[in-house]
Amino acid sequence: MNSADFAIDVRGVTKKFGNRTVVNDIAMQVRPGEIYGFLGPNGSGKTTFLRMLCGLLRPDGGEGTCLGLDFRRESAEIKKRVGYMTQRFSFYEDLTIAENLDFIAQIYGVPERQSAVEKSLERLGLADRRKQLAGELSGGWKQRLALAACLIHEPQLLLLDEPTAGVDPKARRDFWEKIHQLAAAGLTALVTTHYMDEAERCHRLAYIAYGNLLTSGTASEVVKAAALTTFEVSGENLHELADKIRGLPGVEQVVAFGSTLHVSGRDVEKLRASVGPWMTGDYHWKKIESGLEDVFIILMETAKDNFS
Q: What is the pLDDT of residues 20-72, one digit of tens each?
A: 999 999 999 999 999 999 998 888 899 999 999 988 999 999 999 999 999 99
Model pTM?
A: 0.90
**What does the alpha-carbon distance between residue 23 and residue 286 come to, in Å, rounded to a whole number?**
39
**pLDDT score at 306:** 60
The mean pLDDT of 191-204, rounded to a whole number, is 92
pLDDT recorded at residue 37: 96
CA distance 247 to 278: 15
Q: Which whole number is the average pLDDT over 272-289?
A: 93
Beta bridge partners of 284: 234
**CA dist., res. 22 & res. 308, Å (int):** 11
Amino acid at 75: S
The pLDDT tens digits for 215-257 are 999 999 999 999 999 999 999 999 999 999 999 999 999 999 8
Which domains are present in the chain? 3-222 (3.40.50.300), 229-289 (3.30.70)
pLDDT the model gives residue 84: 94
Specify whether the CB–CB gap between 28 and 206 falls below 8 A. Answer: yes
Closest CA to 79 of 59, 54, 110: 54
The answer, yes or no, to whether residue 199 has pLDDT greater than 70, is yes
Residue 152 sits at the vertex; the CA angle it makes with 184 and 88, to the nearest 5 degrees, is 95
C-alpha to C-alpha distance for 224 and 231, rounded to whole angstroms: 16
**Residues whose CB is less than 8 angstroms from the CB of residue 101 and which lie 6 or more positions away in sequence, other chains included:** 117, 120, 121, 145, 148, 149, 152
The rounded distance, in Å, linking the Cα atoms of 77 and 94 is 32
The three-state secondary structure class of 126 is coil
**pLDDT value, residue 241:** 95
Answer whether residue 308 shows pLDDT above 60: no
Using CA atoms, how far residue 103 sits from 17, 24, 106, 116, 271, in Å, is 34, 37, 5, 12, 59
Write down the pLDDT at residue 307: 55
Name the residue among 85, 88, 81, 89 with its Cα closest to residue 8: 81
pLDDT band at 83 (very low <50, low <70, confident <90, very high): very high
Residue 2: pLDDT over 80: no
152 closest CA partner among 193, 114, 192, 181? 114
Dist. CA 140–CA 145, nearest whole Å: 9
pLDDT recorded at residue 180: 96
Q: In a 10 Å sphere around its CB, with 0-12 CB exposed, 13-18 middle and 19+ buried, how is residue 144 labelled?
A: buried
pLDDT number for residue 70? 94
pLDDT at 305 over 80: no
